Amino acid sequence: MDFNLSEEQTMLQDSVSRFIQNSYGFEDRKKYIAADNGFSAENWNMFAELGWLGIPFAEEHGGFGGGALETMMVMEEFGKGLVIEPFLATVVLGGGFLSKGGTPVQQEQLIPSIIEGKLQLAFAFVEPQGRFNLADLTTTATASGDGYSISGHKGVVLNGPSADKLIVTTRTSGDQRDESGITVFLVDANAAGVSRRNYPTIDAMQGSEITFNDVKVSADDIIGELNNGLPLIQSVVDDGLLAICAEAVGAMEVLYKTTVDYSKQRKQFDVAIGSFQALQHRMVDMFIEHEQSKSLMLLAAMRLAEGSDEASKAISALKVQIGKAGRYVGQQAVQLHGGMGQTEELNVGHYFKRLTMISHTFGNADFHLNRFGEL
Amino acid sequence: MDLNFSAEDIAFRDEVKAFLKENWTDQDRKDMGNGLSMDHDMPVRWHRKLAAKGWAAPNWPLELGGCPWTSTQKYIFDIETANANCPRLISFGLNLVAPVLYTFGNEEQQKKYLPSILSGDTWWCQGYSEPGAGSDLAGLSTRAELSDDGTHYVVNGQKTWTSTARYADMIFCLVRTDPTAKIKQQGISFLLIDMKTPGITVKPISTLDGQQHVNDTFFDNVKVPVENRIGEENMGWTYAKLLLTHERTGIAGVARSKNRLSELKIVASAEPTGTGQAPLIEEPTFRAKISQIEIDLMALEITDLRTLAGVQKGGAPGPESSILKVRGTEIQQAIAELFLESAGYYCQPFVQDTHWGSYEGEMIGADYSTSTALQYFSTRPATVYGGSSEVQRNIISKAVLGLKFK
């Protein structure tokens, strides 16, 4: 057993950490959010120059050859700064589909563009009726001429507004909730029949409702296996879960530390409020929740990295913990900051919002508690 | 002991229902939307209708315009109006400054201010909290100095979290008149200040829900006539303490929480479970959470009724009424949290236009889901304002259990 990072990993972590400290202050972030596409194009280019966009990709495609651990480290640091650039959507999810299920042609054409920062992707998988069930699909792809025609509605597609290409889960055969009969397609976001309604999300990300109306795609646009897309989808979603949970761990670290600092400075009744035992114990519990979350994050990342059969179970355990911890740490941080915690002017509330949305992404705590029991 | 309504109570309920049918239309209900992005004068319009009927201030003394209702009838009124989705009336005038006026104000002050509070013509806000004085309210430092000729005070300082200050005609403030007082609770006075007085600046504060209900209110050499002081100089804390007790009652929000909970059940019956196979309400983990809230609310309802009955027998509610604030706000937050959970991914889109009842465009997700995040983040301050949960627990600990605070 070894919980130490390699030299290369330490360098990566240091460089992301430096970026957050130097370029992701509260005011900086506000500017990035206000940009046209809702994030900083300059940052994105810099991520490319620093090689971060190539982290999980194979060296043969120009990547860093990293895996779950490297993604985890980057996302944990990103969580500390509440980074809004679409690393999750484009690199972890979009890139994950291409790496794990893409044809050699798709990989050669697209992965280098991701690494260079020139291609934006979005994963369109949510359907209003399906909630967290990845197999509950009413979006259909039916054979049409040489290819397929996609029709349906996908909701809350993160990074939808900026995406050049969409990765769309569809039903190609079987019934609405069958585990078989699912196929993943790569769809040009500007293809005829694709329409997007874009909006900001409560946690300052960008999302879209996307309708597909008889959108023509070819058999070459299939990612993974025809009619057997679910295992690929689940595998990429597990990677995505690790990524957002790592982000949450970073966010929680900032929250408990910020709260402790505030409690030492804020005076009421002529003393620092941190001297009240009723509050001290709550901050101790925030700290414990963060540490426990970090432990499950490391466990899940190592299980994923080694390709273990236990990986999905560890991921669900992590998501349950993040749901519980994110809620406690977020709510307490806001409460202990009093009125100030409720304002947009303090970073505390922004971390709380992101933690709350993470808890509802890729299945909430209840969903993963159930999945944990079944696995 | 009897939990059932008497024949008079049932007749009263019918009267309330009939009044609502006449005065609160389906269109009003729709315009109310989620109650958070309503027009700011929506509660005022409702207030005027109630005032015309003589129902705006049930808790006031009868001779000043209160209602001859029993505690059960007050309860019935709250339940019926909450179920009809009526807005809560702005409480600063009706429930906060009015009791101070009719208890400690002189006759002239009562005549001047009470009628327009009752009719809804004057909008009041509250100047209590300051950046340095939150839970420790008595630590306030906004200064009021009496002019040499004794005709007016000059007020300087900053109040914060002043809800609806932008619409208010008047503000009631706690100010420091004697900075040399040995005990900080002494040396505070209670002033009524016209918001149009030169030197007052209101600056909105954006909160997590994307709204700007609260403000910073700045006072720069604001002249306040001495006749706007309630009671004696340096005795303001005593008056304010009474007012805080009134703020604590009614804050349980039982009627509204019951209404929200039943809406939640409807919504959760239409949403799918995590796996999409059955209504969310049938998912055991989700149902357990709803049931737990319902049980907590049943208990709180009876606690609330016991408190009201006690008040009716005589006097203001005692310190144990802090239970209502602590548990009532926790329940409001828990319900908002389950709405959020119910919406699943659709709690994420945040488009302000869709939060308004008057929005006619296409919704994103289910009709209710668009405002779930707004509601969730809006309920977080409930455990902070009006005396935080921590302060309420201190009150119970000290005044009920007799435990000493270091």
What confidence tens digit (pLDDT) does each residue in A64-73 have? 999 999 999 9
pLDDT reading at B317 higher than 90: no
C-alpha R_g of chain B: 22
Contact between A373 and B289 under an 8 Å Cβ cutoff? The reply is: no
pLDDT given for residue B3 in this prediction:
82
**Side chain identity at B339, as an amino acid letter?**
F
Distance of CA A229 to the CA centre of its chain: 20
Mean pLDDT of chain B: 91
- Mutation pick from A131, A139, A283 vs chain B, by most beta carbons of B within 10 Å, is A131
Distance CA B297, CA B264 (A): 14
Domain ranges for chain B, please list them.
7-89, 122-234, 249-400
pLDDT reading at A79 higher than 80: yes
- Inter-chain CB proximity A136 and B340 less than 8 Å: no
Under the banding of pLDDT at 50, 70 and 90, the label for residue A78 is: very high
Q: Considering the domain B122-234, what is its CATH architecture?
A: Beta Barrel (2.40)
pLDDT reading at A1 higher than 90: no
CATH match for B249-400 among 2.40.50.100, 1.20.140.10, 3.40.50.1580, 3.40.33.10: 1.20.140.10
pLDDT given for residue B386 in this prediction:
85
pLDDT given for residue B327 in this prediction:
96
Q: First CA to last CA across chain B, in angstroms?
A: 42
pLDDT given for residue B390 in this prediction:
95
User: What confidence tens digit (pLDDT) does each residue in A97-138 have?
Assistant: 999 999 999 999 999 999 999 999 999 999 988 889 999 999
Query: Which of A:40-99 have CB within 8 Å of B?
Result: none
Distance CA A91, CA A106 (A): 15
pLDDT given for residue A126 in this prediction:
97
In DSSP terms, A212 is beta-bridged to: A152, A194
Looking at per-residue confidence, does B358 or A213 come out higher? A213
SS (H, E, C) A31-66: HHHHCCCCCCHHHHHHHHHCCHHHCCCCHHHCCCCC
Looking at per-residue confidence, does B398 or B3 come out higher? B398
Contact between A216 and A151 under an 8 Å Cβ cutoff? The reply is: no
pLDDT reading at B404 higher than 90: no
Min Cα–Cα distance to chain B from A348, Å? 10
* Mean pLDDT, residues B198-213 taken together: 93
What percentage of chain B has pLDDT greater than the value 90?
72
* Mean pLDDT, residues A354-366 taken together: 97
Looking at per-residue confidence, does B201 or B317 come out higher? B201
Contact between B126 and B170 under an 8 Å Cβ cutoff? The reply is: no
Tell me if chain B has a CB within 8 Å of the CB of A342: yes
- Mutation pick from A348, A366, A369 vs chain B, by most beta carbons of B within 10 Å, is A366
Which residues of chain A are within 8 Å of residue B389 when distances are taken between CB atoms? 335
pLDDT given for residue B307 in this prediction:
85
B304: tokens are 């609330």
On whether ipTM exceeds 0.85, the answer is yes
SS (H, E, C) chain A: CCCCCCHHHHHHHHHHHHHHHHHCCHHHHHHHHHCCCCCCHHHHHHHHHCCHHHCCCCHHHCCCCCCHHHHHHHHHHHHHHCCCCCHHHHHHHHHHHHHHHCCHHHHHHHHHHHHHCCCCEEEECECCCCCCCCCCCCCEEEEECCEEEEEEEEEEEECHHHCCEEEEEEECCCCCCCCCCEEEEEEECCCCCEEEEEEEECCCCEEEEEEEEEEEECHHHEECCCCECHHHHHHHHHHHHHHHHHHHHHHHHHHHHHHHHHHHHCEECCEEHHHCHHHHHHHHHHHHHHHHHHHHHHHHHHHHHCCCCCHHHHHHHHHHHHHHHHHHHHHHHHHHCHHHHHECCCHHHHHHHHHHHHHCCCCCHHHHHHHHHHC
pLDDT given for residue A283 in this prediction:
98
* Mean pLDDT, residues B321-334 taken together: 94
pLDDT given for residue A106 in this prediction:
97
Under the banding of pLDDT at 50, 70 and 90, the label for residue B40 is: confident
**Range in A231-240, B221-230, B397-406 with the lowest mean pLDDT:** B397-406
Which residues of chain B are within 8 Å of residue A179 when distances are taken between CB atoms? none
User: What confidence tens digit (pLDDT) does each residue in A256-282 have?
Assistant: 999 999 999 999 999 999 999 999 999
Each as own residue / partner, the long-range contacts of residues A191-200 (CB below 8 Å, 24 or more positions apart, any chain) are A191/A215, A191/A216, A191/A217, A192/A216, A193/A150, A194/A166, A196/A160, A196/A161, A197/B364, A198/A160, A198/A161, A199/B349, A199/B350, A199/B351, A199/B364, A200/A38, A200/B349, A200/B350, A200/B351
Which residues of chain A are within 8 Å of residue B339 when distances are taken between CB atoms? none
User: What confidence tens digit (pLDDT) does each residue in B228-285 have?
Assistant: 999 999 999 999 887 776 655 577 899 999 999 999 999 999 887 767 778 999 989 9
Min Cα–Cα distance to chain B from A196, Å? 12
Helix (H, G, I), strand (E, B) or coil at B25: coil
- Inter-chain CB proximity A201 and B139 less than 8 Å: no
Query: Which of A:262-291 have CB within 8 Å of B?
Result: 267-270, 273, 276, 278-279
pLDDT reading at B48 higher than 90: yes
Distance CA B240, CA B237 (A): 5
pLDDT given for residue B265 in this prediction:
95
**Domains with residue ranges and CATH for chain A:** 7-119 (1.10.540.10), 122-228 (2.40.110.10), 231-374 (1.20.140.10)
Q: Report the chain B residue with the minimal C-alpha distance to residue A204.
A: B350
pLDDT reading at B316 higher than 90: no
Neighbour count for residue B141 (Cβ, 10 Å): 15
Neighbour count for residue B2 (Cβ, 10 Å): 5
pLDDT reading at B290 higher than 70: yes
User: What confidence tens digit (pLDDT) does each residue in A20-52 have?
Assistant: 999 999 999 999 999 989 999 999 999 999 999
Query: Among the ranges A232-241, B280-289, B394-403, which has the highest mean pLDDT value?
Result: A232-241
CB-nearest partner of B365 from A155, A278, A345:
A155
Min Cα–Cα distance to chain A from B205, Å? 7
- Inter-chain CB proximity B341 and A364 less than 8 Å: yes
pLDDT given for residue B278 in this prediction:
82
Under the banding of pLDDT at 50, 70 and 90, the label for residue B29 is: confident
Contact between B54 and B396 under an 8 Å Cβ cutoff? The reply is: no
With residue B217 as reference, give the H or E element that holds it. Answer: strand B214-225
User: What confidence tens digit (pLDDT) does each residue in A330-342 have?
Assistant: 999 999 999 999 9
pLDDT reading at B35 higher than 70: no
Query: Which of A:151-180 have CB within 8 Å of B?
Result: 155-156, 177
Instruction: Answer whether B122-234 and B249-400 agree in fold.
Output: no
* Mean pLDDT, residues B44-53 taken together: 95
pLDDT reading at B335 higher than 90: yes
pLDDT given for residue B272 in this prediction:
79
Mean pLDDT of chain A: 96
Under the banding of pLDDT at 50, 70 and 90, the label for residue B315 is: low
**Range in A165-169, A282-286, B134-138, B214-218 with the lowest mean pLDDT:** B134-138
Cα–Cα distances in angstroms (integers) from residue A209 to residues A159, A160, A162, A195, A319, in the given order: 11, 8, 13, 8, 25
Q: Report the chain B residue with the minimal C-alpha distance to residue A282.
A: B390
What percentage of chain A has pLDDT greater than the value 90?
97
